[in-house]
Structure 1
């Protein structure tokens, strides 16, 4: 009998499958997509004006997927008996991802909002307009840095989790 089927009664599942391997796909797709998109809107203000809100939405969805993946991963770890050092390493990397992803989402929010205010300021010689442009540039730089950091941590976390499964260090069936 499949181990997941035995464990399904103690886990959050979708059609009998544990939630964790399903929801991590949201993290590994949405956050890197958001990172590439955020870098593009940070570098091209015209694209920020046009695509800022959709990029922010994808970023927030990706960041919101991280705690769901962490919760479901903790559930799965408990159901598997815990104590696996490979899973502990994966979990530690995931716990680092959450604050980076939240910071990334906040940076994108500031970039979109500050950019909109800077765009509305008509007189570029006005001190208020200069301040908002500076905030927009700082948010763009921070967004790029956090986009790269988020992507690196998604890859590190995902690699440790997939290696655990594919290298056979986590039981996936009755054997």
Structure 2
């Protein structure tokens, strides 16, 4: 599965899924955290991206390792090419870890937001001339949402950066010669 697709090396074909889904997850994470009115509409899209992006990142990494083994089996790899591939692999590994972290933190943020929306739906209207004090659980949930929201933003940034760095390093290898 990770070596060839219809006789072609799988890695150059499979990386395109990561190039699409990782930035979409990062972008959706930023929008989901910063634009609360859109959350209810895009929750399922965000859930699907949080599940798909780590999988396609892992598949791209595995296919890259098979591609490198295939290249090595044809003879001795020049040291400058091996160094470029190591940089590409290092970026890809970092991307995978940041994307996995982003997916987990995103799912936790979504769960906290869903709990907040359920809790808000159960609170009735405020009594005449008064306000309803937020229960301690609601304050704790809001603090956790802020912490996880910041984590989503940071991890989205790192995921986006490393998908760029990984793709750039791979493209330079492909286009500037083996």
Decide: shared fold, TM above 0.5: yes
Does the C-alpha gap of structure 1 residues 11 and 113 become closer, same or farther in structure 2, counting only changes over 3 Å?
A: closer
Structure-1 separation of matches of 2:43 and 2:143: 18
C-alpha distance after superposition, 1:81-129 (max 9, x if no partner): 1562111111111111111111000111011100011112235611111
Structure-1 separation of matches of 2:24 and 2:93: 21
Which residue in the other structure is 2:106 paired with?
108
Using structure 2 for the length normalisation, give the TM-score: 0.84
Structure-1 separation of matches of 2:69 and 2:157: 32
In 2, are the aligned partners of 1:12 and 1:18 still within 8 Å (CA)? Answer: yes
The reply to whether residue 146 of structure 1 matches residue 144 of structure 2 is no
C-alpha RMSD over aligned residues: 1.7
C-alpha distance after superposition, 1:61-96 (max 9, x if no partner): 111111111111111111111562111111111111
Structure 1 runs of 4+ off > 2 angstroms?
Answer: none
Structure label with greater radius of gyration? 2
In 2, are the aligned partners of 1:27 and 1:66 still within 8 Å (CA)? Answer: yes
In 2, are the aligned partners of 1:24 and 1:69 still within 8 Å (CA)? Answer: yes
Structure-2 separation of matches of 1:137 and 1:110: 12
Unaligned runs of 5+ in 2: 124-132
Structure-2 separation of matches of 1:59 and 1:31: 9
1:78-93 paired onto structure 2 within 5 Å:
78-81=69-72, 84-93=82-91
In 1, are the aligned partners of 2:50 and 2:107 still within 8 Å (CA)? Answer: no
Structure-2 separation of matches of 1:53 and 1:112: 10
C-alpha distance after superposition, 1:18-42 (max 9, x if no partner): 1111111011110101111110110
Using structure 1 for the length normalisation, give the TM-score: 0.85
SS in 1 for 2:134: coil
Which residue in the other structure is 2:94 paired with?
96
Shift of 1:60: 2.0
**Worse-superposed segment, 33-42 or 52-61:** 52-61
Shift of 1:59: 2.6
The reply to whether residue 49 of structure 1 matches residue 40 of structure 2 is yes
Which residue in the other structure is 1:39 paired with?
30
